[in-house]
Amino acid sequence: LKSALFEIFLSVFLFFLSKFLQNNQINTMVSPPDTSKTSRLERYHSYIRRMNSTKLLAASSKLLFRTTLLVALVLIFFFTLNYHPHPDNPHHHLHTSHNLLSSAFYGSGAAWEKQVRRSATPHRPHGFSVLVTGAAGFVGTHCSLALKKRGDGVLGLDNFNSYYDPSLKRARQNVLQKHEIFVVDGDINDAELLTKLFDIVPFSHVLHMAAQAGVRYAMENPQSYVSSNIAGFVNLLEVSKNADPQPAIVWASSSSVYGLNTKVPFSESHRTDQPASLYAATKKAGEEIAHTYNHIYGLSLTGLRFFTVYGPWGRPDMAYFFFTRDILQGKPIDIYKTQEDKEVARDFTYIDDVVKGCLGALDTAQKSTGSGGRKRAPAQLRVYNLGNTSPVSVGNLVGILESLLNVKAQKHVVRMPRNGDVPFTHANVNLAFKDFGYKPTTDLATGLRKFVKWYVRYYGIQSGVNKEIGNSTQHLGASA
């Protein structure tokens, strides 16, 4: 695109230069002295013709220049609007730039604002008006549907970055659209856009699910975690603190904050100052930042520490997801063991249980107490574990998938590398149960069965899969 535009502007420049030299040559041509009346008259008419020609050339040049400039701007806008990173390089241009398509373009029209208002308007008495960031993500999509289903107003926000296949996010967006949930294509770091959304809608709540996920990718692209999980969170809090009214905020922390903690099951009272990965460190930083904004500005903030969430429409970077893909494709899979030859285990939590926890946190969130960026009274500050309370080894996970897929996995047992992963997670959810009745009910075998039903349907896979699974369907939101 840059090369094409350069060629266009170079051509225009050379055109004007040639005409300029031609004009100078014409204007500097001097006829031989001739005092006769006929010669003077001819020179006069020649001068008039040259003047008219010069004026016509100048007018044509201006018209050509303006036309060329307009075409160039249209090309820039078109290619920027339709640019998508190549799927073979999933981490290229991870955070999409919105500088050329600034928030002025997003909100440049009454129709766009009408969509925003309609989507965010609740349809039940005393319903919430919720801004869901990361709405096209895994948890964000399921929560948005559950909120809309019960009559709350939901407006989504997502930047559709390419950490994993954006087509999956667009497919989720299509499902949301069918349920009349509008997802704004924008970034949480865009303060102008966020401010505009808060000017249009007096949000009662924010469900902040947008984040750079994944423990291992932090070793490849640490800046993406700082940009999203810290800078993006601060930007959202800055806009929220100045909103009138201030919203109550529920946001996604992570079980990763427990890091090197060895006390089990993990409780909210345990140490979280020994993160094992940059991802964990940014989530812990988020909890401390939340404390600061609660203390100074009176924002009501609730952090939710998710424990390995899985299910239909899940993230392709999660083990259960790419294990399923590789087993079906006949590829070997790595089964990690600890440095002490112990099995790695996770507290796998089914998406429907997590959604119930998120809605419970929203329902019990108290109002923020600030106004115009000033704190009026102490505000609510909470953090909860949302897990399943039943750790399962990765080996058992693979065994369940083998049974569901009717395929024997090619297992490659290796020692866990020092990439920030922890060997064991186990949630204590007593506090969440006490405060809003959180109680997980889905065991791993049941949850994986529902995931595989969705997987084979979404990717059109039938052969080799358990017939009971392959002939079933799983629609997003059906059980949420």
Residues in the chain, total? 480
| 253 in Cβ contact with 279 (< 8 Å) | no
Please report where in the chains the tokens 């290229």 appear, as a residue: 92
| 396 in Cβ contact with 454 (< 8 Å) | no
| 272 in Cβ contact with 284 (< 8 Å) | yes
Which residues share a beta bridge with 370?
375
Long-range contacts of 315-320 (CB under 8 A, 24+ apart): 315/137, 315/138, 315/164, 315/213, 316/164, 316/165, 316/168, 317/163, 317/164, 317/213, 317/214, 317/217, 319/394, 319/397, 320/348, 320/397, 320/401, 320/448, 320/451
SS3 content of the chain, % helix, strand, coil (to 5): 50, 15, 40
**Catalytic one of 217, 225, 279, 350:** 279
Distances in Å between the alpha carbon of 361 and those of 144, 254, 300, 383? 14, 15, 11, 10
Q: How far apart are CA 21 and CA 161, in angstroms?
A: 51
Q: How far apart are CA 405 and CA 401, in angstroms?
A: 6
Beta strands in 357-475 (DSSP E): 370-371, 374-375, 381-386, 392-393, 410-415
| Residue 258, phi then psi, degrees to nearest 5 | -70, -20
Which residues share a beta bridge with 427?
266
Q: Is 279 a catalytic residue?
A: yes
Q: What is the Cα 8 distance to its own chain's centre? A: 36
Catalytic annotation, residues:
279
